[in-house]
């Protein structure tokens, strides 16, 4: 990679003036000078944050080369940078960017080297979605924490701040400088298919407190991103696959959705991500918020006073593509007030569309300069001009340390929520309930897991002195699988059943297990709303995710090694009367 001296030269002598710690925007004069020397194609490139396949910037596997050629028209990350001069790259697990921490660090260094060797080379902002819980891109041996709703159940902004601080340190160590977290959406709709447990809860002020705390923790080392503005918490459609509509009034938006975003702005949030949702009370045009000048410039910039980086949600999602073509979306987003254009389906189409819009006069070069200035301010705050590279030694010293892992375990223990405990069934005794059967849903695993939930939970219980056997029954068990589980239950002292967004087949499984007469403990491993549909189950826990750290904490609660301390951050409605609340916000039992 280039030496530090080469990096300084590549930034045209501005590095010393871009150090963090000065007053806001103090270096704008020098940054504007840097922008003035950029060509129009270079400026267009700075606006894009793009995916790329492969574990290496210059030598990915052949399958990843093929994927890059098919989707981007280049072979490697280095070639993409040389051709399009992108200002950012986003890492995904499925793009094979995140095999292990040392590999990630090497990839990050390769990307920076490829960009800095270009004429007027600038460092790249490398980003990812590391929300923790069900959305993680960097897996073990990195430290994985409970997700947002679990943190909401824990009730401690201090824990949220600690999560952000530790996670930010580890992300920075591997070269990731912008994290698309925390989720600032207030989840008031139990049927929300895309936010759910990614939200801290349903109470705006409680969500706001945790958002602000995570921002404070993250931004010691990386840029945090509050998402999805103006609020994605009350949708019944996933914007990855459709175009949701929010029917809130302007008054309700102010009281509900806006509160966490205002808190994030007060906390100094570096970036805010847009939502591909229609919000008629804020903009009657029918455009998605990502393309809405009234929402992004009028409300976010004007009324809320936000002058940081605005990044779109992925431009490959259907919510932003249904009304306009892929060539129009990036242009309209910039006209609306966006700065970073995230992951378009075709970089070539989007890049050339923006270039043409400037050449035709639809967009001015001055408008691009406004966004580039914000992006360069962000790079300056992150010390990317001074410290674009990371070291393998830094990875070893920082990522997945015993102290970090212990902190994650402690936080997880404070999030596990005991919803039902009839007859004091929990905690289970190792003498009276020595033999356990762990059955239930085994959904696709996020990066925070080492195996299927049934196996992870059974192994954790075995380590605690039980003899636990795992039997995966899936999210939609057949009658034959249910019969197998029921037969196995007759040979044990108690059964643990994991539920995942409870289906009719899962409900039948749990009810038939209860009918065996064996003690049954249910664990909601995603949405806590499952408990309303299983009144016959004598004990019910909520973990809010099926990642290892949360399942291990649940095992310790089941075994009585720790008492459950979590409290519901969302209400659970009755199954037979959704207008009535079965368990209110704040409900949670303990062993005390």
CB 2, CB 113: distance < 8 Å: yes
For residue 498, what are its two tokens?
A: 């994991």
Strand partners, 132: 135
Q: Residues with Cβ < 8 Å from 73, sequence gap 6 or more? A: 83, 347, 348
- Give rounded-to-5 percent helix, strand, coil for the chain: 40, 10, 45
Does residue 313 have an active-site annotation?
yes
Angle between helices 329-336 and 365-381 (to 10 degrees): 80
Q: Which residue has the tokens 């040392």?
A: 102
Q: Is 369 labeled as catalytic in the residue annotation?
A: no
> Of 28, 238, 240, 327, which one is the catalytic site residue?
240
3-state secondary structure of 146: coil
Q: 98 Cβ partners below 8 Å, 6+ apart?
A: 91, 92, 104, 128, 137, 138, 139, 447
Residues shown for the chain: 592
With residue 573 as reference, give the H or E element that holds it. strand 572-573
| C-alpha to C-alpha distances, 256 to 23, 40, 233, 326, 523, nearest whole angstrom | 32, 41, 10, 32, 30
Nearest to 183 by CA among 200, 169, 167: 200
Q: What angle (nearest 5°) sits at the alpha carbon of residue 163, between those of residues 390 and 210?
A: 130
Q: Is 14 exposed, middle or buried (0-12, 13-18, 19+ CB in 10 A)?
A: middle
* Long-range residue pairs from 327-333, CB within 8 A, at least 24 positions apart, any chain: 327/352, 327/353, 328/353, 329/290, 329/291, 330/47, 330/354, 331/357, 331/362, 331/363, 332/287, 332/291, 333/274, 333/290, 333/291
Cis peptide before 228 (omega within 30 of 0): yes
Q: How many CA atoms lie within 13 A of 43 on its CB side?
A: 26
Catalytic residue among 313, 339, 493, 548: 313
Q: Angle, nearest 10°, between helix axes 157-173 and 402-413?
A: 150
Q: How far is it, in rounded angstroms, from Cα 260 to Cα 431? A: 48
Residues 545, 548: Cα–Cα separation, whole Å: 9
233 within 8 A of 195, measured Cβ to Cβ: yes
* C-alpha atoms less than 13 angstroms from C-alpha of 147 in its C-beta half-sphere: 31
- Nearest in space to 496 (alpha carbons), one of 457, 535, 549, 533: 457
Write out the two tokens for 115.
């960009």
Q: Pull the structure tokens for residue 568.
A: 């519901």
Which residues make Cβ contacts (< 8 Å) with residue 25, sequence separation at least 6? 377
Residues with catalytic roles: 240, 313
């Amino acid at each position: 990679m280039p030496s530090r001296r080469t990096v300084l030269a590549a930034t045209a002598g501005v590095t010393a003036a871009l150090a963090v710690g000065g007053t806001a925007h103090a270096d704008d004069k020098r940054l504007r000078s840097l922008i003035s020397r950029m060509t129009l194609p270079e400026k267009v490139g700075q606006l894009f944050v793009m995916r790329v396949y492969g574990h290496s910037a210059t030598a990915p596997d052949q399958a990843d080369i093929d994927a890059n050629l098919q989707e981007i028209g280049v072979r490697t990350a280095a070639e993409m940078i040389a051709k399009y001069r992108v200002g950012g790259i986003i890492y995904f697990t499925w793009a094979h960017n995140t095999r292990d921490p040392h590999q990630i660090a090497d990839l990050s260094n390769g990307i920076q080297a490829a960009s800095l060797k270009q004429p007027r080379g600038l460092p790249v902002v490398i980003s990812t979605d590391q929300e923790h819980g069900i959305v993680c891109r960097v897996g073990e041996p990195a430290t994985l924490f409970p997700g947002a709703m679990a943190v909401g159940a824990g009730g401690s902004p201090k824990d949220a701040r600690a999560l952000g601080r530790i996670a930010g340190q580890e992300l920075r160590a591997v070269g990731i400088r912008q994290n698309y977290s925390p989720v600032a959406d207030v989840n008031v709709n139990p049927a929300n298919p895309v936010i759910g447990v990614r939200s801290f809860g349903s109470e705006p002020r409680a969500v706001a407190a945790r958002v602000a705390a995570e921002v404070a923790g993250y931004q010691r080392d990386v840029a945090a991103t509050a998402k999805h503005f103006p609020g994605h918490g009350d949708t019944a459609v996933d914007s990855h696959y459709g175009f949701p509509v929010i029917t809130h009034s302007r008054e309700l938006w102010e009281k509900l959705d806006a509160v966490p975003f205002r808190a994030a702005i007060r906390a100094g949030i570096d970036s805010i991500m847009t939502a591909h949702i229609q919000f008629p009370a804020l903009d009657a045009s029918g455009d998605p918020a990502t393309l809405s000048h009234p929402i992004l410039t009028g409300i976010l910039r004007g009324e809320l006073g936000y002058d940081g980086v605005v990044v779109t949600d992925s431009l490959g999602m259907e919510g932003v593509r249904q009304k306009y073509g892929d060539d129009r979306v990036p242009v309209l987003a910039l006209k609306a007030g966006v700065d970073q254009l995230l992951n378009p389906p075709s970089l070539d189409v989007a890049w050339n569309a923006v270039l043409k819009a400037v050449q035709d006069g639809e967009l001015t070069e001055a408008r691009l300069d406004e966004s580039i200035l914000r992006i360069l301010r962000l790079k300056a705050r992150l010390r990317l001009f001074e410290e674009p590279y990371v070291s393998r030694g830094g990875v070893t010293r920082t990522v997945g340390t015993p102290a970090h892992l212990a902190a994650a375990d402690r936080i997880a223990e404070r999030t596990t929520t005991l919803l039902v405990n009839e007859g004091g069934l929990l905690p289970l005794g190792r003498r009276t309930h020595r033999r356990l059967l762990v059955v239930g849903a085994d959904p696709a695993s996020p990066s925070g897991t080492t195996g299927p939930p049934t196996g992870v939970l059974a192994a954790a219980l075995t380590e605690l002195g039980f003899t636990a056997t795992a039997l995966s029954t899936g999210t939609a068990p057949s009658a034959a699988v249910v019969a197998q589980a029921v037969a196995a239950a007759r040979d044990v002292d108690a059964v643990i059943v994991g539920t995942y967004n409870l289906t009719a087949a899962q409900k039948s499984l749990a009810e038939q297990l209860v009918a065996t007469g064996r003690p049954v403990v249910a664990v909601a491993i995603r949405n806590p709303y499952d408990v309303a549909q299983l009144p016959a189950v004598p004990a019910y826990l909520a973990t809010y995710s099926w990642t290892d750290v949360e399942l291990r904490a649940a095992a310790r609660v089941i075994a009585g090694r720790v008492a459950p301390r979590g409290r519901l951050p969302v209400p659970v409605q009755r199954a037979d009367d959704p207008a009535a609340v079965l368990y209110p916000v704040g409900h949670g039992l303990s062993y005390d």
